[in-house]
Amino acid sequence: MNKTYIFIMTMGCLLAGAISMLGDAVFIGSGQKQNDINSEFGIWTPGTIFEQSFRASHNKLSCIDVWIDSYRPWDSPYLELRLLEIHTDRAPDETSYAEIQQNAKEVRTKRINGWLLSPHMFNSFSFKAIPDSSGKQYLFSIQSPELHYGGTSILRGSYRKRLEGESFFVNGRLQEKHDLAFRVFYQDSRAALLQKAFQSLSLQKPFPFSEPVIYYVLLLVYLFLLALLLWRLGRLLSV
């Protein structure tokens, strides 16, 4: 193994790391990470429908995760998620279910094959990002339109009201003490997310760690040490 090959391999690894920082990644919206999953809600019939409202905290809304506790694909061929934008100035908890439906327009639909769903964890319903979603009010629904007779699926929800000003409906009936267990994801560039992460790390830290730039320096040092390690490893293998 000659030095040229070692150099090319090292630079290739560093270039791959740099390229991985390009493009978009996803992150959970502010206040939209659900950890309270102590209540169960069952999909008992094909007409059973769960609907949860939320306000998008960022642009590029692209994914909604729902906690599925129990699922049998032979009873439920697929689950369907519909995302609707609510065109009203009033908060959902101040609006009747009928009024929400009258002012809601479907913007995305996603079906997931039952064999691709996993029980006892969050399952992702991803869709084409909505570029101007920030600040808009949405309602998403979950149902199993082709649920077989006698089958069931169990979703999880909070045991107490978690989202202020939002509403959770089961078959059109308001659940005053619960919210559905879900998470909302948005797209952003990896570089922007890295910058936000460094800014977050710098909060309430003593100097120089209170400056975000120090974390860029540490990242460069890490990459340099990684390159040095690969180079030394190549030298050892070439002996």
For 222-237, how does the pLDDT look when each residue is reduced to its tens digit (9 = 90+)?
777 777 777 777 667 6
Number of other CB atoms surrounding residue 204 within 10 Å: 6
Contact 39, 156 (CB under 8 A): yes
Residue 126 has pLDDT above 80, yes or no: yes
Instruction: Give residue-wise pLDDT tens across range 84-121.
Output: 999 988 888 788 889 999 999 999 999 999 898 888 88
> So what's the pLDDT on residue 201?
63
Of 22-36, 74-88, 210-224, where does mean pLDDT reach its minimum? Answer: 22-36
H-state helical runs in 175-212 = 190-201
Peptide bond into 73 cis (omega under 30): no
Pick from 57, 98, 89: nearest CA to 183: 57
Q: How buried is 160 (Cβ within 10 angstroms: 0-12 exposed, 13-18 middle, 19+ buried)?
A: exposed
pTM confidence score: 0.69
Task: Report all structural domains of the chain as residue ranges with CATH numbers, in order of start.
Answer: 3-24+191-238 (no CATH), 25-188 (2.60.120.680)
Give the integer Cα–Cα distance in Å for 11 and 15: 6
Token output for 100? 């929400």
Pick from 143, 153, 186, 160: nearest CA to 70: 153
Residue 156 has pLDDT above 90, yes or no: no
Token output for 157? 């929800």
Residue 48 has pLDDT above 70, yes or no: yes
> So what's the pLDDT on residue 119?
87
In this structure, what DSSP letter does residue 141 have? Answer: E
> So what's the pLDDT on residue 51?
93
Of 1-5, 133-137, 165-169, where does mean pLDDT reach its minimum? Answer: 1-5
pLDDT band, residue 202 (cuts 50/70/90): low
